[in-house]
Amino acid sequence: MNQHAPAKKITNVELLNMKQRKEKIVSLTAYDSSFAHILDEAGVEMVLVGDSLGMVIQGQTSTVPVTIDEMAYHSKIVSKGLSRSLLVTDMPFMSYPDPQTAMHNAAILMQEGYAQMVKLEGGAKILDSVQHIVNQGIPVCGHLGLLPQSVNQLGGYRVQGKEQAQADTMVDDAKGLEQAGASVIVIECVPAALGKRISESINIPVIGIGAGVDCDGQVLVSYDMLDITHGKRPKFSKDFMADAHNVFDAVSQYVNAVKNKQFPADEHSF
């Protein structure tokens, strides 16, 4: 992106237009205003304040301990660094057990966290909550596949949708989320063929993370792709700092790689 070009604000409608134009959507996580500013300047369309902050910022072993107040705080400070990118904020563990609670907590993220869209994990069981939130004028991003908030139930961080029945259910869940009013869906850790199938099955954008190159866009945890995360980097990520001069350069390389369908490559897919 040309830093001197006028910044056209990214909206959920623009993301839909990008899918229709077959233009790849680029997303990364941010947890503070400084990182957010770099992502915004480098051309990232969708900045996600992920509950992954529990692991990469707080040092937790999962995303489960993260609270709605912590999400609102990080979302608010990330918003200060954005002028162009769409701000999407995760609704954390147990913040949407029923439609009324979901709406209340989504409102907190919008009013106190300045979010422009909220993200919920799950399929059929959260459709009522998604529809209720959307009916109040709040855009929603769904999340299917590996669900970090359900890691204790899933038995670890494993590829999802390898069996036909599970894959079919995921496609049905994606269609259900679209019908409930979701604007975007993130799919995580699924076979590349399933990522393509889901993307082609619905009209709203599908953003992949470990879901193959044929999704409508890609998202990574910024700390993973900048080689900051302690421990082993996920298979689906790539160290973009390796050949970069600085963080802005690394993010720009990621943006270009996604736009040109060079990332993810086969070694980053399942």
Please tell me whether residue 254 adopts helix, strand or coil conformation.
helix
pLDDT of residue 155: 67
User: How far apart (Å, rounded) are the C-alpha atoms in residues 248 and 176?
Assistant: 38
Distance between start and end Cα atoms, the chain: 30
pLDDT of residue 6: 55
User: How far apart (Å, rounded) are the C-alpha atoms in residues 38 and 60?
Assistant: 26
User: How far apart (Å, rounded) are the C-alpha atoms in residues 95 and 224?
Assistant: 26
Instruction: Give me the phi and psi of 48, to 5 degrees please.
Output: -105, 120
C-alpha dist (Å) from residue 211 to 93, 106, 194, 231: 23, 27, 8, 22
User: How far apart (Å, rounded) are the C-alpha atoms in residues 270 and 250?
Assistant: 24
User: How far apart (Å, rounded) are the C-alpha atoms in residues 60 and 11?
Assistant: 32
Question: How far, rounded to the nearest angstrom, does the alpha carbon of residue 82 sit from its chain's CA centroid?
Answer: 16
Q: How many CB atoms lie within 10 A of CB 266?
A: 9
Which residue out of 41, 45, 178, 188 is catalytically annotated? Answer: 188
Question: Catalytic residue at 188?
Answer: yes
Q: From the first residue on, what is the mean pLDDT of each consecutive set of 10 residues in the chain (270 residues)?
A: 63 97 98 98 98 94 95 98 98 97 98 98 97 98 93 77 96 98 98 98 98 98 94 90 97 98 95
What would the DSSP string read from start to end of 36-55? HHHHHHHT-SEEEE-TTHHH
Token digits of residue 261: 């369908």
User: How far apart (Å, rounded) are the C-alpha atoms in residues 20 and 174?
Assistant: 18
Q: Say if residue 97 is preceded by a cis peptide, omega within 30 of 0.
A: no
pLDDT of residue 145: 96
Length of the chain in terms of residues written: 270
CATH T-level topology, domain 12-268: TIM Barrel (3.20.20)
C-alpha dist (Å) from residue 29 to 134, 136, 226: 23, 26, 11
Domain ranges of the chain: 12-268
C-alpha dist (Å) from residue 223 to 136, 155, 218: 34, 24, 15
Instruction: Report pTM.
Output: 0.95
Token digits of residue 161: 């949708």
